[in-house]
């Protein structure tokens, strides 16, 4: 008897992480539907997947659309978001509409269609500057931005849908994801693509604050693997996804310059509102479902830099 093909939906599937996840699902033999309103995602990100997946230009704020798309679906990988702390501070209402109302729509549509599991992309931002390192899932969250508050509210909705409506859910708290296809040109761009594009162009890297703030950077390939493992295992709840090691932004800039073979003097600017000082994850809990980061920072940065050069 032929094995039944599993069906998955990736919300925000034309985005940086979503497109990598879409590729991996196709490689594993899934039938994939991507829904993205292209507000930050790009069709170019799906170059290799367009003929092997179905693309729907739409938003998670459109409940009737989700209800229709989730028919017969096994897994929903919910990546869609307004993916930026500074942007959320400028547009808190839009952030809430997508992060909270949009996630509620995803959960309702999944529940009504008896989807096997929803895997939700949460964020380390929910911890804020809660005291204590490394960050463990048992810590009391302390969001510092509308982005973080929305991610936390959506996590709570996931947990409620599991308890009340018996819809299995997993919330993966990503720590500073980087890799190929991350947009360096947005005014809200993350640290690594921004630093890489400046350094490759021979411009001094701009660092906000004193550069001594630390982050736990996670290569996108590891995040994709965590999503697939979380879907295929019987775990539910909240899990940190990272490398489990931190580095200061000053050291990060040095490392990128070393790999790129450039020597530039950073320019320091005022620290940004909503930025936390130190962040590193405890990933013991995620190891329980088989997650193990494969990429050390230098290897991940080297791969990412190659991609940036080829652009």
In the chain, domain spans: 7-175+219-242+283-293
**Whether pLDDT at 162 is above 50:** yes
Does residue 210 come out as left (phi exceeding 0), alpha (psi in the -120 to 50 range) or beta?
Answer: alpha
As assigned by CATH, the class of the 7-175+219-242+283-293 domain is alpha beta
Q: Average model confidence (pLDDT) for the chain?
A: 96
Task: Express each pLDDT in 49-80 by its tens digit.
Answer: 999 999 999 999 999 999 999 999 999 999 99
Residue 231: per-residue pLDDT: 98
Active-site hit among 147, 157, 178, 295? 147
The pLDDT value given to residue 3: 67
Whether 2 has a pLDDT exceeding 50, the answer reads: no
The reply to whether the predicted model has a pTM over 0.95 is yes
Give the angle subtended at the CA of 63 by the CAs of 55 and 163, to the nearest 5°: 110
Question: Is 30 a known active-site residue?
Answer: no
Instruction: Write out pLDDT tens, residues 82-132.
Output: 989 999 999 999 999 999 999 999 999 999 999 999 999 999 999 998 889
- Encoding tokens for residue 120? 């939700």
pLDDT of 264 higher than 80? yes
CB atoms within 10 A of CB 274: 18
Q: Does pLDDT of 187 surpass 90?
A: no
């Amino acid at each position: 008897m032929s094995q039944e093909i599993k069906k998955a939906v990736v919300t925000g599937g034309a985005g940086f992480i979503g497109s990598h996840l879409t590729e991996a699902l196709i490689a594993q033999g899934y039938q994939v539907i991507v829904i993205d309103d292209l507000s930050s995602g790009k069709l170019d990100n799906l170059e290799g997947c367009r003929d092997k997946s179905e693309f729907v230009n739409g938003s998670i704020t459109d409940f009737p659309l989700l209800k229709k798309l989730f028919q017969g679906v096994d897994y929903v990988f919910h990546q869609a978001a307004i993916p930026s702390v500074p942007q959320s501070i400028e547009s808190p209402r839009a952030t809430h509409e997508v992060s909270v109302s949009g996630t509620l729509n995803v959960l309702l549509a999944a529940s009504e269609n008896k989807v096997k599991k929803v895997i939700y992309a949460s964020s380390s931002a929910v911890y804020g500057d809660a005291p204590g390192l490394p960050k463990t899932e048992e810590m009391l969250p302390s969001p510092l931005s509308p982005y973080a508050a929305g991610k936390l509210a959506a996590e709570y909705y996931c947990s409620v849908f599991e308890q009340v409506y018996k819809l299995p859910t997993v919330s993966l708290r990503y720590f500073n994801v980087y890799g190929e296809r991350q947009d360096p040109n947005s005014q809200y761009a993350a640290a690594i693509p921004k630093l890489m594009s400046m350094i490759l162009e021979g411009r001094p890297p701009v660092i906000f604050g004193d550069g001594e703030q630390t982050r736990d950077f996670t290569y996108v390939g590891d995040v994709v693997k965590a999503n697939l493992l979380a879907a295929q295992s019987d775990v539910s709840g909240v899990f940190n996804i990272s490398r489990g090691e931190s580095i200061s932004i000053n050291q990060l800039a040095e490392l990128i310059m070393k790999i790129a073979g450039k020597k530039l003097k950073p320019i320091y600017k005022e620290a940004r509102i909503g930025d936390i000082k130190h962040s590193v994850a405890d990933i013991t809990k995620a190891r329980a479902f088989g997650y193990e980061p494969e990429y050390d920072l230098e290897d991940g940065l080297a791969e990412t830099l190659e991609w940036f050069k080829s652009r």
